[in-house]
Structure 1
């Protein structure tokens, strides 16, 4: 991924160049100490403080502001949004970032709620519905599924993913 920002000063450009060289060295396996358990595939890399966003109450907001400029969030265009992303290793981080982005975008929130229900199997006589009431199902938050309450605003950056049945598609192609 490549980030570009207009109107950078010479020191800012130098810092970006330094970071780019450092991240390439990490990717090429030139930096870091091998992991004792898996020395050929894993390395421990110390991230220098100057490459980190401070871990404080404004850390995530600063990251979002760095990636999505204020103008981009207020008047987004498809071409600008296609060049920007925040990659997260965990769903909790995604949820925190999404909430902050929604708060940063002007406009009113539109809340969409899921329609959860337990589907009876066989002759359970409705026991599934008693064991798994909708109130309980609404509290579950699984990877790959949207939350029960999805809050959006007009113009907010969003990625829509669709699950594709690769095995089914492959089998159909062979027929």
Structure 2
């Protein structure tokens, strides 16, 4: 993780870095009934849960639409997410905000069953299960892409 000064002074940045290190070392929490509780300063909390994802995207990628054609705009920025479902939500939200027409690609809806165990395989892998698989290294069942090269994108 990189921390940049931005509007903060050096001492604020040091304090924040030390707080992050304490969290990673397990030293920044109180323990109640064996469950650690970490107190997060109010100045770094996203307050409105209804717009939390939009606020996070705007914070990490400020004025994204105006900066799409800048070569390294996305290079040093990332939103970390704890689960693949969260990653999917972030990706879908960001894709929806981009101009241009969507193209939707769907995955295969059937299993290539072997003759010996065909009944079991067909029952074990229903359409809902196949389409709901979300794991690292596989694209989602419904892959939504936007058409165009970054150089061609204009704010519509």
Q: CA deviation at 1:79?
A: 2.8
What's 1:160 paired with? Answer: none
Structure 2 gap ranges (5+): 151-156
143-152 vs 24-33, which moves further: 24-33
**What SS class does the counterpart of residue 144 from structure 2 fall into?**
strand
Does 2:136 match 1:139?
no
Contact kept in structure 2, 1:120 and 1:128, CA below 8 Å: no
Structure 1 gap ranges (5+): 157-175
- Select 1:113's aligned residue among 84, 97, 106: 106
User: How does the TM-score come out when normalised to structure 2?
Assistant: 0.70
Relative to structure 1, the CA distance from residue 73 to residue 133 in structure 2 (aligned partners, 3 Å threshold; closer, same or farther) is farther
Q: CA deviation at 1:84?
A: 0.9
Relative to structure 1, the CA distance from residue 27 to residue 99 in structure 2 (aligned partners, 3 Å threshold; closer, same or farther) is same
Relative to structure 1, the CA distance from residue 72 to residue 139 in structure 2 (aligned partners, 3 Å threshold; closer, same or farther) is same
**Looking at both structures, which has the greater relative contact order when contacts are Cα pairs under 8 Å and sequence separation is at least 6?**
2
2:66 and 2:18 mapped to 1: Cα distance?
29
Relative to structure 1, the CA distance from residue 106 to residue 46 in structure 2 (aligned partners, 3 Å threshold; closer, same or farther) is same
The number of equivalent residue pairs is 146
Contact kept in structure 2, 1:73 and 1:105, CA below 8 Å: no
What's 1:50 paired with? Answer: 43
RMSD: 3.3
User: How does the TM-score come out when normalised to structure 1?
Assistant: 0.64
Contact kept in structure 1, 2:104 and 2:142, CA below 8 Å: yes
